[in-house]
Chain A
Amino acid sequence: MRATKKVIPHIFLMGYLLVILYPFLFVIFSSLKTNNQDIASNPFGLPSSITFDNYVNAWVNAKISVYFFNSLYIGILAACVSILFAAMLSFAVTRMRYNKISAIVFQLILLGMLIPNNSLLLPIYGIMSKLGILDTHMALLLPYIANAIPFSVIILAAFMRSLPGEIEEAAVMDGLSSAGLFVRIIVPLTIPAIVTVFIINFLGNWNEFLLANYFLSNDALRTLPVGMVGFRDAYNTNYAQMSAGIVFSVLPVMIIYAILQEQIIEGVTAGSVKG
């Protein structure tokens, strides 16, 4: 009786696990098959003869290496710059002695969290075309940096507020200026929060689709999500090759997730609650 009671939750949870994981297996199996007929005749299992041609073809046809590095550098650069700017603002707002102005600035930034960002797609498109940077990576970098600021400020400011005031008193006694205080003392102490914010910002930029789809038209500039959709639209009759493309685009995130799962889960969920 007790044994069956213990097994029942696992049956449901294993069922859920199957629903989550099997689609990935299905894609991996399909990517090893030669063509659509091969998938149709044996949909669930591994093919009798494994072929890696799809991976070679997908890598060449989909230019995955190009999209991958575009996404990587835009994601990292935008995340780093917004963290730098957000950390500077958070430091000024929480640690420097201008309480009234700081309160107003902070409240305004909080307001940004309420604005549904895809409703601003058109005006931002307008700004980009006025600046003449549509179809360059700047058209993604600037909005990505800006979009991440309210969230980053909320997390970083909360963290900096909790640092004890004695630290900076001692540092100022030793002759540090406020900028020196920021660089030498506050930033090193804020590293745990910075890591969290970096992961969330990077994943957000890495996965962003709307702006990347409408602000860039040059194929060589595309990011991975947009590039993959273009690849699907071009080769949507060859599912075996498309599956290989999906594997390529999912694999890096899977590897990062396998290594950093604790930090990612903690960061993403904590961030969304506070935000």
Chain B
Amino acid sequence: MNKALRNPVVYVLFILPAFILFLAFFIYPVFTAINNSFTSWNGISKTVNYIGFDNYVQAFNDDAFWKSVRNNVYFILFSCLIQVPLIIIFSLLIANVKKFKGLYKTAVFMPSIMSTAVIGILWGFIYNPDFGLANEVLGLFGVSPIYWLSDKNWAMISILITNAWQWTGFYIVMVLAAILSIPKELDEAAAIDGATGVQRAMKITLPLIMPIVSVVIMLSIAGAMKAADIVLVMTKGGPAGSTDVMATYMIRYAITSFRHGFGNAIAVLIFVFTIIITVLYQVLIAKRTERIEY
């Protein structure tokens, strides 16, 4: 028995392919990113100059960098303050209807399996100032045309709406699954005691789904820090850098302007900021939403 399952050759052969790829594409890149972030390397030349923390100092002194950080924060705030309440309300609504439950679930989930690039193109069309859906609908109410993606006051909110349109349904389905797994007896007992639908939702269902809501927030934060393709497809960071997020700022410098060292410093900062936010969230908020057994 043990002989067959303690075969060192087989063990190593089975582990190696995945492990080598993992080292090559996760561990090694992290160290090269850190190393290159201290250089003025352009990504091509043979000579590499180490310049200490200059790249970081420069990033911290660049207003455009802080603008991109601010836009990442907008992504996080928009999902936590606007999307999460909507997610909870709609999943409660879907959980409590008898008819069309499957239809609602299937339909709201659909955008999340589609390519962000194609959704960006689709919404670019919707935001077209002359005959896009957004202005046509608003026009019915007498609103004058808005230059969604080319007006710097509107561009960021336009992207946030598109992002929410794509991902809200995904989280609704997650929360819905949690609601439907709560034993029916709890709700029925409260109903017999005379609690109204709203009371039951607020006092029974909501506390019980807090753990999954916490996961939703965690995933939204991770998603917000990763956001890049939606911005690249819809505005390329423009107009005038008003929709840049950290990842697109990094790409602009590293690939478009050949400042590889500086780009790597931004990559390290994305990494560090993500860890800080994740840890802060876990320590400050997630700990308080304890798991409830039923």
**Chain A residues near B114 (CB, 8 Å)?**
207, 250, 253
Determine the residue in chain B with the shortest Cβ distance to A108.
B22
Considering the complex, which residues of chain B in the window 16-47 have a beta carbon less than 8 Å from any beta carbon of chain A? 17-19, 21-22, 24-30, 32-33, 36, 43
Asked if B251 is at the interface of the complex by the 8 Å CB criterion, the answer is yes
Q: Known contacts A19-B165, A39-B131, A172-B4: does B117 contact A228 (CB below 8 Å)? A: yes
Q: Tell me the smallest distance from the CB of B12 to a CB of chain A, in Å.
A: 8
Report the separation of the CA atoms of residues A268 and B99 in the bound assembly, to the nearest whole angstrom: 25
**Chain B residues near A91 (CB, 8 Å)?**
14
**Chain B residues near A88 (CB, 8 Å)?**
14-15, 17-18
Q: Tell me the smallest distance from the CB of A172 to a CB of chain B, in Å.
A: 5
Question: Chain A 137-150 against B: per-residue CB contact (8 Å), 1 yes, 0 no?
Answer: 00000110111011
Asked if B75 is at the interface of the complex by the 8 Å CB criterion, the answer is no
**Chain B residues near A213 (CB, 8 Å)?**
232
Partner of B93 from the list A13, A176, A179 (CB cut-off 8 Å) is A13
Instruction: Say whether B33 contacts A153, CB under 8 Å.
Output: no
**Chain A residues near B131 (CB, 8 Å)?**
36, 39-40, 43, 239
Asked if B254 is at the interface of the complex by the 8 Å CB criterion, the answer is yes
Instruction: Say whether B6 contacts A97, CB under 8 Å.
Output: yes
**Contact sample, A vs B, 29 pairs, CB 8 Å cutoff:** A13-B97, A17-B107, A20-B169, A23-B122, A27-B122, A39-B131, A44-B136, A85-B17, A115-B26, A120-B33, A121-B267, A122-B36, A122-B255, A122-B260, A123-B32, A123-B264, A125-B255, A149-B18, A177-B10, A207-B115, A209-B115, A210-B232, A229-B120, A242-B121, A246-B118, A257-B110, A257-B113, A265-B109, A272-B219
In the complex, given contacts A88-B15, A225-B118, A265-B105, what are 12 additional A-B residue pairs having Cβ atoms less than 8 angstroms apart? Answer: A20-B165, A89-B17, A89-B19, A92-B15, A96-B6, A122-B255, A123-B33, A214-B255, A225-B116, A225-B229, A253-B113, A272-B174
Which residues of A come within 8 Å of B, CB atoms?
A: 6, 9-10, 12-13, 16-17, 19-23, 26-27, 30, 36, 39-40, 43-44, 82, 85-86, 88-89, 91-93, 95-98, 105, 108-109, 111-112, 114-127, 142-143, 145-147, 149-150, 153, 168-169, 172-173, 176-179, 181-182, 203, 206-207, 209-210, 213-214, 224-226, 228-229, 232, 239, 242-243, 246, 249-250, 253-254, 257, 261, 264-265, 268-269, 272-273
